[in-house]
Amino acid sequence: MQLLLVRHAESENNAKPVQNRVCDPSITARGRLQADCLGKWMSGLAIDQLITSPFLRTLETTRSILQHAHAPPRRYPVSVWHDVFENGGCYHGHHEKNFAGASGLSASAIESFFQEIAAQFPDREPPPLTLDPEIDESGWWGGKNRELPEEMQARSQAVIKRFEQTFSQQPGVEPLGEQENPVVVLIAHADFLREMLSQMLAGRVAMDAIGPIPNTSITSLQWSATGWKLTSLNSVTHLPPRLITGHQAMLS
């Protein structure tokens, strides 16, 4: 499996002071340009599975990838995973004294989002869409308390194992897509991607030396029986310099 870890485009929260942030922001005008560049670059890939967090900023980044698909979009099957959200979950407030759980988008809201994308291309078969069963009408977060750091670490471990078990070639199991080495793309968030990388590359890469993860940057890893191998880190070659953001501080 080749796994591409992609941070979402610049969100409105990335461009605001902490005290003005909201629980589930859209991407900014600059973020839409970033996502457009990302979508154009990814149109040249034969993607076997596209996975996204249920946050609005990751869905909007995913939209640009689907809009730029030149081949039949069935090569871009989409899954919305409930467990690849950003550190903390979906919540209101900016300080531990005023944190309050938010609901997050519901299953029907996410389905409508992708239906609107499909409606833009009536001559195309819409890509298959799968939502984790944990995402229901109460919202994917459901108003829970803010996630603790140790909970994110455990969740990251579970997500890594989920990738390994879902997309590795197993005896008697058909490979994903036409390739035995499927290309899988995850659109997620800076802090969560950093936690994933720290666990996947533990003992081999010093995370303190990696630096921030820019918006729409692409990190590529290869999975085999010997474990994870880093093949590229935080690439932003698809972006002009004026569109590179998130490289000076770690923001969600």
pLDDT in tens, 176-192: 544 578 999 999 999 99
H or E element: which one contains 5? strand 2-7
How far apart (Å, rounded) are the C-alpha atoms in residues 177 and 188?
Answer: 22
Mean pLDDT check: name the lowest of 20-34, 162-176, 206-220: 162-176
Q: Judge contact between 1 and 166, C-beta under 8 A.
A: no
Which of 40, 136, 147 is CA-nearest to residue 101? 147
Tokens describing residue 27: 């991407």
Beta bridge partners of 187: 6, 52
- pLDDT confidence of residue 250: 42
Whether 97 has a pLDDT exceeding 70, the answer reads yes
pLDDT band with cut points at 50, 70 and 90 for residue 62: very high
- pLDDT confidence of residue 147: 96
Q: What percent of the chain has pLDDT over 70?
A: 91
H or E element: which one contains 183? strand 183-188
Characterize the bridge pairing of strands 78-80 and 129-131.
Answer: parallel
How far apart (Å, rounded) are the C-alpha atoms in residues 133 and 182?
Answer: 24
Tokens describing residue 172: 């008697």
Of residues 34 and 209, more confidence is placed in: 34
Give me the count of residues in the chain: 252
How far apart (Å, rounded) are the C-alpha atoms in residues 160 and 197?
Answer: 9
> Hunting for tokens 């239906």 — which residue is that?
115
Quote the DSSP letter at residue 2: E
For domain 2-243, the CATH class is alpha beta
Mean pLDDT check: name the lowest of 23-37, 86-100, 198-212: 198-212
Q: Where are the domains of the chain?
A: 2-243
